[in-house]
Amino acid sequence: MQEVFKAGKIQREDVFIATKLWNNNHRPERVKPAFEASLKKLQLDYVDLYLIHTPFAFQPGDEPDPRGANGHVIYDKGVTLLDSWRALEGLVDEGRCKAVGLSDVSLAQAKEIFEAGRIKPAVVHIESHPYLPQWDLLDDCGKNGIVLQAFAALGHSSEPRLLEDPVITAIAQRVNKTPAQVLLAWAIQRGTALLTTSRTPSRIKENFEVSTLPEEGYRPDCCKNIL
Ligand SMILES: NC(=O)c1ccc[n+]([C@@H]2O[C@H](COP(=O)([O-])OP(=O)(O)OC[C@H]3O[C@@H](n4cnc5c(N)ncnc54)[C@H](OP(=O)(O)O)[C@@H]3O)[C@@H](O)[C@H]2O)c1
């Protein structure tokens, strides 16, 4: 990033950079050092968005994946999501991150922070696609002016495979787009921000070439028995 910024074509303020607090750093006194370590690794003065990666905490310490003798993860029950959230609010106060948010939370966990936090989350980052629409969370985010950011917009590697799904592929055929473009358009049209990723130049281009899906109902022939 520094090389690109120094070359002058893209300025720091032209890009939106987010990073996350990992689970072994949820204790409030560990939040700022973890945040500073991320900035140092990224060689940045600030980030645009700092998320709490998960609502649950791991045993505090240097081990990112602490395990007991039985191989099970060691959780930290001595800190709440709200405790960590208050520490993130302090980072916003200091101007080190422009916005803060939550990741992988349930509606109940998100609501707790919406209601008790001094600063509302700017973003709730969760897995979402047609097989995991999360309508209730989207509705609640909308009421609170919060952006729902959908990751795994193309279904990630999970089953059923969305890019081969008969409903999605039939819609793609009907609107003359690819299944990926249908999924991305669906995410945009319902009012979420989305994340996807590709290492393939032609797919990166394809993923920007989305257009609005028709609103009227449609039942593809192949799906008459399942819709
Ligand atoms: N908070 C969390 O727990 C969490 C978990 C997972 C992901 N994330 C975030 O979400 C981001 C998105 O990751 P994801 O894997 O979940 O995204 P995804 O959109 O579900 O899947 C990306 C995969 O789809 C392929 N792909 C991309 N465009 C395509 C296209 N037009 N046609 C066919 N295949 C296409 C890519 O393959 P190629 O690269 O081979 O093109 C890549 O393997 C991550 O970078 C991360 O920031 C967060």
Show the domains of the chain with their CATH numbers: 2-121 (3.20.20.100)
Hey, which of 148, 154, 204 would you mutate to test ligand 1's pocket, going by the most ligand atoms within 8 Å of its Cβ? 154
Residues with CB under 6 Å of ligand 1 are: 103-104, 125, 151-156, 163, 180, 195-200, 203, 206-207
Tens of pLDDT, residues 31-78: 999 999 999 999 999 999 999 999 999 999 999 999 999 999 999 999
Q: What is the dihedral of CA 182, 173, 175, 223, to 10 degrees?
A: -80
Task: Give the number of residues written for the chain.
Answer: 227
184 C-alpha to ligand 1 centroid (Å): 12
Tens of pLDDT, residues 169-209: 999 999 999 999 999 999 999 999 999 999 999 999 999 99
118 C-alpha to ligand 1 centroid (Å): 33
pLDDT, position 225: 55
- Residues facing residue 202 across a β-bridge: none
pLDDT, position 227: 47
Angle of CA points 126, 83, 45, to nearest 5°: 70
Determine the atom of ligand 1 nearest the C-alpha atom of 198. Answer: 39
Q: Phi-psi bin for 71: left (phi > 0), alpha (psi -120 to 50), beta?
A: left
Report residue 130 as tokens. Answer: 């047609």
Contact status, residue 110 vs residue 102, Cβ threshold 8 Å: yes
pLDDT, position 160: 79
Hey, which of 106, 126, 151, 208 would you mutate to test ligand 1's pocket, going by the most ligand atoms within 8 Å of its Cβ? 151
